Amino acid sequence: GESVGLHLPTLSVQEGDNSIINCAYSNSASDYFIWYKQESGKGPQFIIDIRSNMDKRQGQRVTVLLNKTVKHLSLQIAATQPGDSAVYFCAESNNDYKLSFGAGTTVTVRA
């Protein structure tokens, strides 16, 4: 089975609202986590990452939260825009060579 998964396969959000995408992981040895965005017909694009020695990391309009106690990762997108419509994947790793992806959450932004 997969070591990384997302709670919801789809998320519909009103333009301008904040989005929260969740991810659960089961490998307690994982020490590096990444969020990717994949638009239709394209390869995954890096959004933000976080290491296990951190609880929170912020980027431009995005924040990743890591709760190691319950093995939970979330991505928050502020002021969601139409261009944020995509599939979002979390991924985890415990070494330099192998990355495990979750199944993805499809985010649809309503105008």
Partner 1 sequence: NAGVTQTPKFQVLKTGQSMTLQCAQDMNHEYMSWYRQDPGMGLRLIHYSVGAGITDQGEVPNGYNVSRSTTEDFPLRLLSAAPSQTSVYFCASRSLYKAGGRETQYFGPGTRLLVL
Q: Residue numbers of the site for partner 1 (CB under 8 A)?
A: 2, 4, 9, 32, 34, 41-46, 49, 51, 89, 91, 93, 96-104
Rounded CA separation 25/70 (Å): 9
The identity of residue 12, as a single letter, is S
Rounded CA separation 96/80 (Å): 32
Using the minimum distance from each CB to partner 1, give the nearer residue, 10 or 18.
10
Cβ of residue 95: shortest distance to partner 1, in angstroms?
A: 9
Rounded CA separation 76/35 (Å): 11
Cβ of residue 43: shortest distance to partner 1, in angstroms?
A: 3
Using the minimum distance from each CB to partner 1, give the nearer residue, 41 or 83.
41
Using the minimum distance from each CB to partner 1, give the nearer residue, 5 or 61.
5
Cβ of residue 1: shortest distance to partner 1, in angstroms?
A: 12
The DSSP element (H or E) to which 77 belongs, if any, is: strand 72-77
Using the minimum distance from each CB to partner 1, give the nearer residue, 2 or 55.
2
Rounded CA separation 53/73 (Å): 13
